[in-house]
Amino acid sequence: MRRTEVVALGLLQGPAELLPISSSGHVAALPWLLGWEHAQLDGARRKELEVALHAGGAVALLVGLRRELLALRIDVAVLSLLPAVGLAFAAERWIETRLGGPRSLAAGLAAGSVALVLADRAPQERREEDAGPRDGLLLGLAQACALVPGVSRSGATLAAARALGFARPDAVRLSRGIGVPVLAGAAALKGLRLIQRRPDREELTTLAAGAGAACAATLVALPLARTLESGQPLTPWAAYRCLLAGVLLVRDNRSR
């Protein structure tokens, strides 16, 4: 892994994780579009890097969102975590080896766009403090879908929260809050596997550089992410996702 590429992806990861546009999709799409070395890595190695970037972002979110996280109900947080953990253990290897190409990325981006647009039609009747165990489980199921590249964890949970009737600003805060435990859990699991693989010092340094870049970029991007709480429709984010999906498909067709 080239360190300059990894740092660049970390800087991209920060704002992409906070917006409903799929950080994993961007981290996979950009190297493929630009012909970077990262695109040639096997699925497991790419996933290790992705989780390192998520770990950096999770640290930044723990610092920047500590008040929001303390306000989140424990039962909602735990139930939102369980489906993602279950799917990760059941299908993680299959997802790593079979998905992540340009066509599957485009499909995930497009599917997430449709979900955002349809869910945003729901009435805005509920507030963040109304979230209960049922909401936590349904948000967790949406979060588990984001293991598929391109779907977007924040986009899936934001769509689910809107479909459940939460007002846009409250849906945004719920989406952010329940994302931190799953990001931290994934980082811990992959970190353990990484240690068992015994990578050399250079690779560890490169992953740490990416994580540091993602942490810094996330902290800087937090004010940008809070613009989502203004209550504006989610359609522009859906349109951007469709545009990126179209670029991936066009480029893929040309390369065949």
Over residues 116-171, the pLDDT tens digits come to 999 999 999 999 999 999 999 999 999 888 888 788 888 999 999 999 999 999 99
Has residue 196 got a pLDDT over 90?
no
Query: Looking at beta carbons, which pairs linking 187-196 to residues 24 or more positions away fall under 8 Å?
Result: 187/51, 187/52, 187/54, 187/55, 187/58, 189/88, 190/47, 190/48, 190/51, 190/52, 191/51, 191/55, 193/48, 194/48
**What average pLDDT does this structure show over 168-178?**
90
- Is pLDDT of 96 > 70? no
- How much is the pTM? 0.85
pLDDT value for 86: 82
pLDDT at residue 43, rounded to an integer: 66
pLDDT of 93 > 80? The answer is: no
Supply the pLDDT for residue 168: 92
pLDDT of 29 above 80: yes
**177, burial (CB in 10 Å: exposed 0-12, middle 13-18, buried 19+):** buried
| Nearest one of 162, 144, 167, 154 to 230, comparing CA atoms | 167
